[in-house]
Structure 1
Amino acid sequence: MAEAPHKGADFDVAIAGGGYVGLSLAVALKSGDSGLKVVVIDPKPMAVLDRDPRASAIAAAASRMLTQLGIWDDIKDSAQPITEMIVTDSKLRDKVRPVFLTFGGETGKAGENEPFANMMPNGKMLPALYEKAKALGVEFDAPDSAASFTTTASDVRLTLASGKSVSTRLLVAADGVRSRLRDLAGIRTVHWDYGQSGIVTTVAHERPHNGRAEEHFLPAGPFAILPLPGNRSSLVWTERTDDARRLVASDDFTFEIELQRRFGHHLGTLELAGPRNAYPLGLTLARDFVRPRFALAGDAAHGIHPIAGQGLNMGFKDVAALAEVLIEANRLGQDIGALDVLERYQRWRRFDAWQMGVVTDVLNRLFSNDNDVLRAARDFGLGLVDRMPFLKTRFISEAAGLTGPAPKLLSGKPI
C-alpha cells in the first residue's frame, strides 16, 4: 500500500466539471474531511447555474445522500415526489394506450412513506450544491478548463485554458460523456450511437398530474412524462435524430401538435413552458475508470440511454463510492492518488455501470421498434411483471437505488 507523498501540491483533489457530479463530490469530500483541499474547475461561470431549465429524477438513495450532506432540506420544497408510475406500449396511431405495468411510488420499507424518486428542477439544485461547496471551503476556477495535464510520481500538473498552472494529488474528470480529460488519459471506451435524440422540454397542462409519471413506449423510442410541482411536467421525448432536429426547429404550433399526439389529452390543454433542446443518445462506457492519480466519475465514465432514468443517479453512486474510498484512505495516511487506492473505487462501480449500460441498451432495442412480434412478446412480459408483486418491489428498489452493497452516503450515513 502506497503511503501518502509529501503534500506539496496546491490541492488534494481537483475536479474538472461543475455539474451535479462535480459539485456533489466536492461537497462530499469536504463534509467528510474538512482538511482536504478541493478545487472545482468548470468552463462556465457558476453564476449561471440557476438558469438550467431542465429537471432531473432524484432516486431515494440519492436524496438520502443529499440529506446527509445538508442539501435536501434547502431544496425539498421544490421537489415533486413521484407517487405512481405507469408504462404503456403502443403505436403512435393507436387511439387507446393500454397500461401494461403500474408501480406505486413508495419504496415499500415498513413504516416509511419514502417516494422511490423525486423530480427536482436543476435550477434549484445546482445553486444549492454550489453554495454548500463554497461554505465548506471548496475553491473554484471558473470559467476555466483543463487544457492538458502531466502525471508525476507525486502529483498531477494541470495547465488550464487561461494559462494558469495547478498541481493536485488527484484529478477527477467529471466533464461529461465527451470527456476531453478521459481522452488525454488514454482511456478507451465502448461506444455506439443509437441514431436517436432525446427532446427535453417542460409543459404546463390544464389538469393536475397527481404525482404520476408515465412512460409510453412508441416505435421511435420512449416518451416520458415526469411530474413537476404544480400543473407542469418535464418531458424526455425520444425520436430518431433527423425527426428530433426537425421538431426542435419547427414553430411552436407544429411542435405542440406533434407533442399532443404523443402526450394525449388526459391532462387537458397543453402549453410549452420552457425551451426545447435535443440531445443525441448513445452508449459510452469507459473500459477503465482510473489511472494513477486520475479517476472518472459520472457521464465521463458511463453515458447510457435515459430509458430507465438512471444516468444521474449512477453519477451520484460514483460520488458516494469515490468519496468514501478517498476519505477512508486519507484517514489511514494512504496516498489518495495511488492506483491501488483508486482501484477500490473501480471495483465498486465499474461492473454496476457496465451492467446498467447493457440493461438500458437491451431495453431500448427491445422497445424502440415497430415489430409486431417483439411488441407482443414485450407486452406479455410487462403484463406478467404487473401480476408479480415481488418483481415489482424489486424493480422499485432498483429504481430507488436501494439494492446491493451501498456506499454510506447512499444509506444516509456519514463517511
Structure 2
Amino acid sequence: MESTASNTAQGAATYVHDVAIVGAGPAGLALALALKAAPGVDLDVTVIERGQGEPSDDPRGWAIAEGPRRVLEAVGVWADVAGQSGVAEKMVISDTPLRDAVRPSLLNLGGEEDSDEPLAWIVPAGALHKALHSAAKATAIAIGGGTTVTGFDATGASATLDTASGEQVRARLVVAADGVGSPLRHMAGIKCVEWDYGQTGIVTTVAHEFPHEGRAFQHFLPGGPFALLPLPGNRSSVVWSEETPRARRLLDLDDFSFLGELGLRAGPELGEFELDGPRGGFPLGLMLARSFAAQRIALLGDAAHKVHPLAGQGLNLGLKDVAALAETIVDTVRLGMDPGSLTQLTRYERWRRFDVFQMAMATDGLNRLFRPDFGPLRAIRDIGMGLVERTGPLKRGLLREAAGITGTPPKLVTGLPL
C-alpha cells in the first residue's frame, strides 16, 4: 500500500512506511523481497543500512538446508547463487584427539536412496550478498545507506526511528535485522540471555589436491569442531572453532604455517591445501532474545538469536524467521489489520520461539559434550553416534530436522507462495 503522509510538530510532512527494516544483511533483504513479491498486497517497504553498498570479502560459506533454500528461491535469488554453490551430498563425522593419524568415521549422514535432496547447499556469503542487493535494486526497494539509527519510539499509530543523519523514518512496523549486538533491540528494551563460549570461529576457503565428491567433513576436536564444506571444483569452505587465544595466534600465522595447522586438523582425505580466499575470525556464543516482538517491532535473524555454528543452522534459522514474519505481515494486511500490533506479532513469536530455542539448546549441548578431551567421555560419545548410525528412523529424523521442514513450517519454507 502507498506511504501515508502526516504532519510533524514542526509542520513538515513525514511519510509513514508500512515496514521499515533496519539492517541489509541476508535476513533483512530477504524479508524485504518476500514482502514486495507477495501477491494481492502492495506494501511500502524501506531498508536502513549503516554501511555503504553490499558487503565484500566475507570469507564465510553458509550451509543452506532445503527448507531455507526454498525461501531464497521464492525471493528470486537462488538462480543467481546456485551455480556458485557447492552441494553437500554426505557428511562424515569423526571424534578423535588431534594427535590421532587416523580418524574413523562414526556417523555418516546423507546419501539415502529415498531422498532426492542433498544435505545442504554451501553458499559463499559474498555471492548471496550480491544476489540479494541486485534483486533489491531490481525491485526498487529503497536502501538508505551510510546512517545509523539513534532512537526508537513506538508510541502512537506508527513507530519513529531517529537517525544519525538527522532524518526521521516512520513505519507501522519496524524490523530489527541489525545483527547480534542489535542497537535497535536495546532501544526497544528487549532483554536477552547470552553467554560467550570462549571460542572463535575461523573461516576461509581452501583449494585441495583431491576431489571432495560432495562430502562434508566434520571432526570434533578438543579445541572445537572443524568442518570442511564442499564448494564447486576441488574447493571447500572451512569452519574451524578454536579456543579464542589459540585462534588469534592461528589467524596471525603466515599462510604456510596456517595451512600446516589446517592440514593437521583436516586429515589426509583431501590431500594438500592452498588458501583460496581471505581468512576471518568471529567470536562464538549463544544469544536468545527474551521476546521476538514488542509493540511495533519484530526481531529477525541474528538480532533475535545466535547459535554455535557446529550444525550450520545460523542463517537457516534466520531464513525461517523471514518466512514466518513475511507470512504474518501479509496475512495481517490482507485482513485489514495493523501489522505493527503486538497482538498480530505474537503469532510470529509463537511460531519461531520453540524452533530457535530447540536448536540453540541442541548446539549448546553438543559443543559442551564434545569439547572435553577425556577418554571415557569420548567412548560414551562414540557409542551414541554409533547407535544413531545404525538406527534408520533416528537418522531420518535428524535429516528432516536439519532440512528445516519439521513442525508447522511457513509457506515459503514448503515451497508455497504467500
* TM superposition score normalised by structure 1: 0.95
Could you tell me which residue of structure 2 aligns to residue 78 of structure 1? 84
Cα RMSD (Å): 1.6
Q: 1:407 to 1:107 in 2, by over 3 A?
A: farther
- Counterpart position of 1:333: 336
C-alpha contact 2:4 2:16 (8 A) present in aligned 1 = no
Q: What's the offset of the Cα at 1:6?
A: 7.5
State how far apart, in whole Å, the 2-side matches of 1:187 and 1:68 are.
31
Q: CA deviation at 1:108?
A: 4.1
- Separation in structure 2 between the aligned mates of residue 240 and residue 93 of structure 1, nearest angstrom: 17
Match of 1:35 in 2: 42
Hey, what does 1:364 align to over in structure 2?
A: 367
> 1-side partners of 2:257 and 2:56: how far apart?
29
Matches within 5 A, 1:248-259: 248-259=251-262
Q: Secondary structure at the match of 2:171?
A: strand
Residue pair 1:197, 1:244 contacting (<8 A) in 2 also: yes
Question: Would you say the 8 A contact 2:323–2:410 is kept in 1?
Answer: yes
Matched AA of 1:26: A
User: Are the aligned partners of 1:107 and 1:114 in contact in 2 as well (CA < 8 Å)?
Assistant: no
What is the deviation of 1:143?
2.1
Identity %: 52
Gaps of 5+ in 1: none
State whether structure 2 residue 271 is matched by structure 1 residue 264: no
Q: Which moved more, 1:251-260 or 1:329-338?
A: 251-260
TM-fit CA distance, 1:77: 1.3
The C-alpha deviation readout for 1:350-381, integer Å capped at 9, x for no partner, is 11111111111110000011122211111000
Cα distance in structure 1, aligned partners of 2:206 and 2:4: 54
Q: 2:32 aligned to 26, 31, 34, which one?
A: 26
Map 1:142-157 → 2, pairs under 5 A: 142-157=145-160
Do 1:83 and 1:104's aligned partners in 2 also have CA atoms closer than 8 Å?
yes
Matches within 5 A, 1:299-310: 299-310=302-313
- 1:87 is matched with 93
Structure 2 residues not aligned, in runs of 5+: 7-14
Counterpart residue identity of residue 39, structure 1: T
Structure 2 counterpart of 1:66, from 72, 77, 80: 72
The answer as to whether partners of 1:83 and 1:105 remain within 8 angstroms in 2 is yes
Query: Aligned residue for 2:135?
Result: 132
The CA deviation at 1:58 is 1.0
Write the distance in 2 (CA, Å) between the matches of 1:384 and 1:269. 33
Q: What TM-score, normalized to structure 2?
A: 0.94
Instruction: Give the aligned length.
Output: 407
1:70: Cα distance to partner?
A: 2.2
* C-alpha distance in 2 between matches for 1:53 and 1:248: 13
- Report Cα offsets for 1:126-165 as digits up to 9, x if no partner: 2211222222231110122211111122111111122211
Cα 1:404/1:108, change in 2 over 3 Å: farther
One-letter amino acid of the structure 2 residue matched with residue 377 of structure 1: I
Q: Distance in 1 between matches of 2:409 and 2:114?
A: 18
